[in-house]
Chains A and B, each alone.
Chain A
Amino acid sequence: MKRFTRILALVLALAAITAVMSAETAYTFRTSKEERVVTENGEFTADLIVDPVLITSIGQSADVSMLDALMKKVGATYTFDPIAPAEEVAKYKTVIIASGASSKGLGAAGISQEQETARAEAIMKTVEENEITVILAHLGGPGRRGALSDTFSDMVLGKFTDFAAEKEIPITLLATIADAMTVLKDLFAPVAQ
């Protein structure tokens, strides 16, 4: 059984990311002014999220910082470690992975592309073995779609709507970055006692 059917997976993606694919695949935008958040192939509820939660990056793009800002805004409890090694990931029950390659980000972290690829492979092996819930988050829009970024997204799960439909993995599409608040609040905001 392939890894993505053994783990719960959710993909957060800005609808705009698919704009670059539209010429080749006649992509139809799911979101609109009226429907700003669209979930396909299932739904997400807070009970699917198991603590503790880790946020990490694969590719070291700045999107992981945006995800961190979103999670802070909703008051989520989580650990933020963009370069967490696989053995660290093993300590968590839910891991949110912001995929997107940045040569500047890799340089700042002192990581080569090859080292990041090896880290990604080790992390995905770990989440399979430990049945860790994986959330793939792509927040960078078309600017964060290049060959290397796509490679990293493929390593985590796959890209995006077509893959999710094929594997029946829930995917949530967002019109803008601010719309992510709606989804993340539902999943991570503290519950009033």
Chain B
Amino acid sequence: MNAKQTTRNVLVLLIALVLAFLAGQDFRDMQQPDKIYAENPALTRVAKLSEYNPNLKGTAGDTDIYVFDSGVPGGVALVYGGTHANETAAVMNAITYVENVSVTQGKLFVMPQANLSAFSATLPLRAQMGHMTFTLADGSVRTVRMGTRLANPVHQWPDPNYRLNSSGRVLEHGEIAEIRNLNRNHPGMEDGYLVEMVCYGIRKLVETENVDVLYDGHEASPEFRAVNFLIAHQRAMDLGSAAILNANLDAMMEGDMDGYPFKLDLSGATSWGLSHRALGDNTQAMATLFESLNPVMGFCHEKVTEALVKDGISPNYVHITDLGLLGSGELTDAGSPIELRAGYHMEMSRHLIGALGELNPEKTLTISGLPTFNDLVANGFEGILKPVK
């Protein structure tokens, strides 16, 4: 190799290193903890999931849990988002709770990033945005991380060839990556794969804190038949029915005569590993899950830009709707904006909490401080989120 070749090779290597360094900044940034506002004076403390499964300590699964303890005996609820880190409305709902809620009877746990590892990566080959931004009234910008459906393979790898998981679900062949899906591995294992250990931590949190009602927020594709459905464990059907009815009656009282498009369905007996089935079967909690409509979850959406995530306007899905091909998640030019989607999560979870006390007065959990659905939709998150210092 002569000097000229050596120089050229070194130059190519240097350029490659510079490009790798620049590209690596994005990946490095996604490993940094997200900034969540935690200055709500009603907040009792920020717990860690590792308090409930010590094997999570120091891992990418050790997510924060925001505890609001009134000190007055009553009901206990767990509201969480981020089971799937790209289902942003559920995350925004949990953040709205963290920033605004106050509890005067009972105890509330809020977990915005249930599968914390999944917030450190985006879906490969989808050109997906890694975050959303909201410009607040004071000019500051809030950035909210968008991750992916599965835990980051950097944190849990390799996937096994076969796994009979704790719920009885067999993971193999095309489904094997689901070993990194939080909503396939409940009730989890104390010492297993990272996601299994996270599931176990959630189970122990539910058991240890005597959680009465559990709300797992999700988002669904327009093709999914259960858009805007509350899926309830059989022990949570009364609670779910009352919550949906109360939400609609409240809407009517406030002059919104169309009400909410909420529907109820029973958790499938073979929905092994899903929160509403596995946590309902294995803990005392009444387990529920709600799905809002997000075109990003589907197969026919446009490029996943910040605008698509926030506004939910998808001409492709409007066309598909116009063709009459959707049975559930119809979309118009108005889209499915993040405020509407998160507002549905807020109303659904708020009314589940309300119904808990209505059906079991000794389990009353009294919360206040959340924005109204109309406030959220009218003002947007720009008018709701608080500046993070």
List residues of chain A with CB under 8 Å of any chain B CB: 23, 33, 36, 62-63, 65-66, 68-70, 72-73, 102, 104-105, 107-108, 140-143, 175-178, 181
Contact = CB atoms under 8 A, between A and B. Distances in A.
B252 A178 contact: yes
Interface string B258-288: 1100011111111000000000000000000
B257 A176 contact: yes
Contacts of A63: 264
A104 B225 contact: no
A101 to B, nearest CB: 12
Nearest to A20: B327
19 contacts: A62-B237, A62-B241, A62-B265, A66-B264, A68-B238, A69-B245, A72-B242, A73-B245, A73-B249, A104-B266, A104-B269, A107-B269, A108-B269, A140-B263, A143-B327, A143-B328, A176-B257, A177-B259, A181-B249
Nearest to A36: B257
Given A66-B264, A104-B267, A178 B245 contact: yes
Interface in B223-253: 225, 232, 234, 237-238, 240-242, 244-245, 248-249, 251-252
Which 5 pairs from chain A and chain B are nearest by CB?
A: A69-B241, A178-B248, A65-B241, A62-B264, A176-B259
Interface majority SS (helix, strand, loop, mixed), chain B: mixed
Interface of B: 225, 232, 234, 237-238, 240-242, 244-245, 248-249, 251-252, 257-259, 263-270, 324, 327-328
Contacts of A70: 245
Given A108-B234, A140-B263, A175 B240 contact: no
A102 B324 CA distance: 23
Contact of B245 (A23, A175, A177): A177
Question: Most chain-B Cβ atoms within 10 A of its Cβ — which of A66, A142, A175?
Answer: A66
A33 B268 contact: no
Interface majority SS (helix, strand, loop, mixed), chain A: helix
Question: Most chain-B Cβ atoms within 10 A of its Cβ — which of A62, A104, A107, A142?
Answer: A62
A65 B263 contact: no
B264 A65 contact: yes
Given A23-B324, A177-B259, A62 B238 contact: no
Nearest to B257: A33
Question: Most chain-A Cβ atoms within 10 A of its Cβ — which of B232, B249, B251, B328?
Answer: B249
Contacts of B265: 62, 102, 104
Question: Most chain-A Cβ atoms within 10 A of its Cβ — which of B237, B252, B258?
Answer: B237
A175 B263 contact: no
Contact of B266 (A69, A108, A141, A181): A108
A179 B40 CA distance: 38
A141 B242 CA distance: 18
A5 to B, nearest CB: 33
Contacts of A177: 244-245, 248, 259
Contact of A68 (B241, B248, B270, B328): B241
Contacts of A107: 268-270
Nearest to B236: A65
Contacts of B327: 142-143
A76 B168 CA distance: 42
A65 B268 contact: no
B244 A66 contact: yes
Given A68-B238, A73-B245, A181-B249, A175 B266 contact: no
A175 B258 CA distance: 8
A140 B268 CA distance: 18
Given A70-B245, A141-B263, A65 B238 contact: yes
A70 to B, nearest CB: 6
B305 to A, nearest CB: 31
